[in-house]
Amino acid sequence: MATLERIRSKGVFLLIIIGLALLAFIIGDFLNNSSSILHKDRENVGEINGEAVKIQDFQAQIEQLTEVYKIEVGSEIDENMNYQIRESVWQSLVKSTLIKEEAEKIGIAVNDDELKEATVGNNPDPIITQRRVFANPATGQFDHDRLIGILNQLNQKPSTPEEMENYKTLENYWKYFEKEVYNSRLERKYLTLLSKGVNANKLEAKMEFESKKNTNDALYIYKPYSSISDDKVSVSDADIQKKYDEVKAALKINEELRNLEFVVFANEPSTEDDKKAAEFINKLVPEFTTTTEIAEFTNLNGGKCNNVPLSANMIDPSFRDFAFAGKNGEVSGPKLYGTSYKMARIIDNTISYPDSIKIKHIVIAEKDSATTKVLADSIMNALNGGADFALLAKKYSKMQQTAQNGGDAGWVLTAQIDNDKLLSALNSHPNNVNFQFAEESNAIQIIQITDRTKAVRKAKLAIIESEVSPSKETTAKNFNLAKGFAGSSKDAAAFEANAKKNGYNVYPYTTLTSNLPSLQNLENSRAIVQWAFNDETEKGAVSDVYECGNFFVVAALKDIEPKGYRTLANEEVKDQIKYLVLRDKKAEIISKDLDGAKDINALAAKLQLSVDSANQINFATTALPKVGFEPSVIAAIALGKQGQVSKPIKGNQGVYVVNVTKQVPTANKLDEKAEMEALTTRQLYSVYRSVDALIGNYEIVDNRKNFY
């Protein structure tokens, strides 16, 4: 009992203790859950209609498409292409996910048999047949046997790391296009179903025919809105709000936007930098002029010595005339060309041979160099004895791409051949003579020149260049200038004031989106876009200094526009709406001057306006002569009565008055079938745009800015 009394006496205290413990438990659980949520945000690159897109899966698709691009195009991937690949993967993912969901709702699918027929069947989808990997090297056309042969390699178990790498590359390549065929077929089925509900009827066909069966000729005058200065028109905030409410639907945005301003500081070399670059190259002149080791000296001093003779169109334009007008050993320069001091020395300008040669080759690479040499000698003996080059290439060449075509490698630019033996063979031997050349990795290449272009004069040059570039001291000075500007600009208002005070140009960038690869093509400026969209970057913030190629950039975040409808708080939007209000008010003023006229020529003379003509106008006309897109004016002419001067018509460029001078009826008869087919075809366009509308109705969360 005493114990119970003590508990009662301490009841309030115990309640506080228990309450705090529960609160700690709840907070701990909340923090753990929040941590989990934040962790998921770091894992997910986005969300499509509630379905999370994990960064690992998204990156895997990017890597897959990157490999496909390398195989298809055969070139390296630059930053711009990386952006395009990421964008393509995201758009494809959004589109395929939504179509799949819609297709499932109505029971549409692509089964395994359909997919097999569309990929490896007798009539594969164009997505497959257009791949150059599956084309016959001899004809350049799709080869079904080649497709099956290549895919059979996926049934062979790799035995070496190299084979495993090739296996995975081929597997990814095939899976990508198999997926593309599946998505394409599913989308086609979905759109085909929608298209069946789009058919023009006879009434529509008749209306379409009536709208264009007659053509009208007319005279017109117009007074442009620019004829009234803006300061002559009063625009209130209420006017702007009213117009905004009218056009708000057109101001919807499906992703967040940023309104940015930035100042650019060029990292340009100083006078001292120029002086040092000139001094460096001038010190090299004596030895450059006299050395017998010209290639070694040139390369040692950062220059370039052409081992391959070049024709005039491939020589540095700075020395093109000198290369052929001077003598062997002669030097030109140093002289400033653009941003570099250059000098050149002629090594040999008496060379003459083709720009291009057509070759066949056999690439031999056996288990070791000795075995390779024995086989190469044997093949050479066989060729010199009259053996068929194409048959030997197919049997022995390790270069499968050309081996299947009898070793034919096509035309090769001689400027790309860095092999003195082969170059000398161009002049010393006729076509169809075989040459053997050792290559790296114990490989030997047997080449036969089958054709060549006409011989032209070429030259070998040694060129040393000393670029005038900013030194460390100059770069530091330019950086500190930008740093000082950023440091003294506490917000966007101060940013603008400081820029104006110092005479710096402020560059605006409105409607900035989160996934732009760069800021107005500034090199390495993706980081500025990421800064602008960082959750911690507030409206009015000023960035640190960003190094973008040869520039230092400081940015200010003027405005943040969330997804939804753009508002009048944005200056750009307000200016656009104000322009529309000004146009409406100017139209009212101009209309009073143009109204009530009986004679269009008299009205034009009175207002000092020119009279223009528009002939053969009907509802199918898309533009008004001399003016452009003016649908209201075209409609007025098409519907106008001959001899009557119209009421003032508010157009895009100004206010118009028209006078129909001639009506020409058509002799054509209504062809209901043709009109209905034409209308249906036109209306089908809306079906193909339905996927875009579908995307607009789904909830898409794009977090790519957090990862790239």
Q: Which residues contact 325 (CB under 8 A, 6 or more apart)?
A: none
pLDDT in tens, 329-382: 999 999 999 999 999 999 999 888 788 888 889 988 888 888 888 998 999 899
pLDDT in tens, 515-525: 998 998 899 99
Phi/psi at 686 (5° precision): -65, -30
pLDDT in tens, 87-97: 999 999 999 99
Mean pLDDT confidence for 173-197: 91
Instruction: Please tell me the predicted confidence (pLDDT) of residue 491.
Output: 96
Greatest mean pLDDT among 214-218, 259-263, 362-366: 259-263
Mean pLDDT confidence for 636-651: 93
Q: How confident is the model at residue 645 (pLDDT cuts 50, 70, 90)?
A: very high
What gap in Å lies between CA 94 and CA 515, rounded to an integer? Answer: 15
| CA-to-CA separations, 505 to 496, 500, 512, 532, 689, in angstroms, rounded | 10, 8, 19, 20, 42
CA geometry: angle at 449 spanning 446 and 451, to 5°?
160
Domain ranges in the chain? 2-46, 49-213+667-708, 215-252+572-665, 257-267+472-562, 271-353, 356-452
Q: Provide the sign of the torsion angle of the four alpha carbons 483, 488, 494, 498, taken in this order.
A: negative
| CA-to-CA separations, 188 to 99, 181, 272, 688, in angstroms, rounded | 10, 10, 66, 10
Instruction: Please tell me the predicted confidence (pLDDT) of residue 19.
Output: 45
Percent residues over pLDDT 70 in the chain: 90
Q: How confident is the model at residue 185 (pLDDT cuts 50, 70, 90)?
A: very high
Question: Average pLDDT of the chain?
Answer: 86
| CA-to-CA separations, 494 to 115, 488, 489, in angstroms, rounded | 62, 8, 5
Instruction: Please tell me the predicted confidence (pLDDT) of residue 422.
Output: 63
CATH of domain 257-267+472-562: 3.10.50
Instruction: Please tell me the predicted confidence (pLDDT) of residue 41.
Output: 56
What gap in Å lies between CA 68 and CA 169, rounded to an integer? Answer: 9
For tokens 């003590």, the residue is: 6
User: Among 74-78, 507-511, 587-591, which is the least confidently predicted range?
Assistant: 74-78
pLDDT in tens, 79-122: 888 889 999 999 999 999 999 999 999 999 999 999 999 999 99
Instruction: Please tell me the predicted confidence (pLDDT) of residue 13.
Output: 41
Tokens of 636: 């007025």
Q: How confident is the model at residue 434 (pLDDT cuts 50, 70, 90)?
A: confident
What gap in Å lies between CA 44 and CA 57, rounded to an integer? Answer: 9
35 or 455: which leads in pLDDT: 455
User: Does residue 478 sit in helix, strand or coil?
Assistant: helix
Mean pLDDT confidence for 486-515: 95
Q: How confident is the model at residue 312 (pLDDT cuts 50, 70, 90)?
A: confident
Q: How confident is the model at residue 204 (pLDDT cuts 50, 70, 90)?
A: confident
Tokens of 236: 């209130």
CATH of domain 356-452: 3.10.50.40
Phi/psi at 558 (5° precision): -75, -40
What gap in Å lies between CA 401 and CA 393, rounded to an integer? Answer: 11
Q: Do domains 257-267+472-562 and 356-452 have the same CATH topology?
A: yes
